[in-house]
Amino acid sequence: MKQVISMDIGGTNMRIALVDELYRINKVMRFPTIVGDKTAFLNQVASIIGALQVNMDDVSAISIGVPGRVDDEGFITTLPNIKIKEIPLASFLTKKYQKPVFVKNDAAVAALAEANLGVGKHFKRTYFITISTGIGGALVVNHQLQYSNDEIGHTLFPYKNGYYELEQIASGTGIINLCALNNLPVQASSLFFSLVNSGNIQAQAIFNDWLDLMSAFLNLVQHQFEPDIIAIAGGVMKSKDIFLEKLTTRVKGGNLRPAEFGDDAGLMGATSLAFQFLSVNNKTPQGVTS
């Protein structure tokens, strides 16, 4: 049975798994992402593949979702939240392991997973959003990737007396900044939502601001792309019981659903990408290096 090494690289953590063609995760590991050093980042990815301790003869490909822009040759031009640019990850790994290497934006591959295998599989138009260290989004129509924007989290929104990129004040790490702007020190978004849930008055006021920001963004998505469903994933969704119902009521015509794969959306998406192209005449698609 074919197997691929699948990686979901985020600004905070990277996850790696061995997944078979029935989409069963046979082994998974998590590591903190090295930030700000391109050489160290490349070496970390290679060492993590080694740490998986699999026989590479049993691996058909390596497939990776990354939180940034990937050009038509599979070259990563920028990873804003990892603070590095011009990263030859695909060619670096191809040379090292002599395997096909698939690289695409993480939101795009996760969107494919949710649209084809997950919560959007019975819908024509699925818009996928991930809210984690950053914010990314992609539209899938008739189970084919239609539009992907790795910069969507950098859309400017007004707040108080200035303008901020959405992910600077609304993503998992952005919530920490949002709280700091309101003189409430928190170390993690999960702690913020705990304060909200406990009835902390200051946290609840900031929570309403966050709901306003996110609903403005989601209403923009709903108006521009007219999705049948908006699938939401990312670390912030661990607190969905506190905010998802409230957020849904603020999005006109929005059908908001938790992504079925949750934290595994990126891994499943990268796996789906690999098997999709391995099965089509062994061709390598645009945007992928082998």
For residues 139-168, average pLDDT:
88
pLDDT tens-digit series, residues 219-244: 999 999 999 999 999 889 999 999 99
Side-by-side strand order, sheet with 135-141: 144-149, 135-141, 125-131, 229-233, 256-258
Class of residue 2 by CB neighbours under 10 A (exposed 0-12, middle 13-18, buried 19+): middle
Give the pLDDT band of residue 280 (cuts 50, 70, 90). Answer: low
Beta-carbon contacts of 226 under 8 Å, excluding residues fewer than 6 positions away, are 125
Beta-carbon contacts of 207 under 8 Å, excluding residues fewer than 6 positions away, are 192, 193, 196, 243
Closest listed residue to residue 218, CA positions, set 206, 231, 205: 231
DSSP code, position 120? T
Tell me: pLDDT of 141 over 90. Answer: yes
Pinpoint the residues of the chain covered by CATH 3.30.420.40. Answer: 3-110+264-278, 122-259
Give the pLDDT band of residue 106 (cuts 50, 70, 90). Answer: confident
- Is pLDDT larger for residue 201 or for residue 145? 201
Closest listed residue to residue 68, CA positions, set 139, 154, 141: 154
Class of residue 179 by CB neighbours under 10 A (exposed 0-12, middle 13-18, buried 19+): buried
Closest listed residue to residue 235, CA positions, set 263, 267, 258: 263
Give the pLDDT band of residue 149 (cuts 50, 70, 90). Answer: low
Name the CATH superfamily, with its identifier, for domain 122-259: ATPase, nucleotide binding domain (3.30.420.40)
Tell me: pLDDT of 142 over 60. Answer: yes
Tell me: pLDDT of 73 over 50. Answer: yes
Q: Yes or no: say if 127 and 110 are a contact pair by the CB < 8 Å rule.
A: no
Number of residues that make up the chain: 290
For residues 196-221, average pLDDT:
97
Architecture in CATH of 3-110+264-278: 2-Layer Sandwich (3.30)
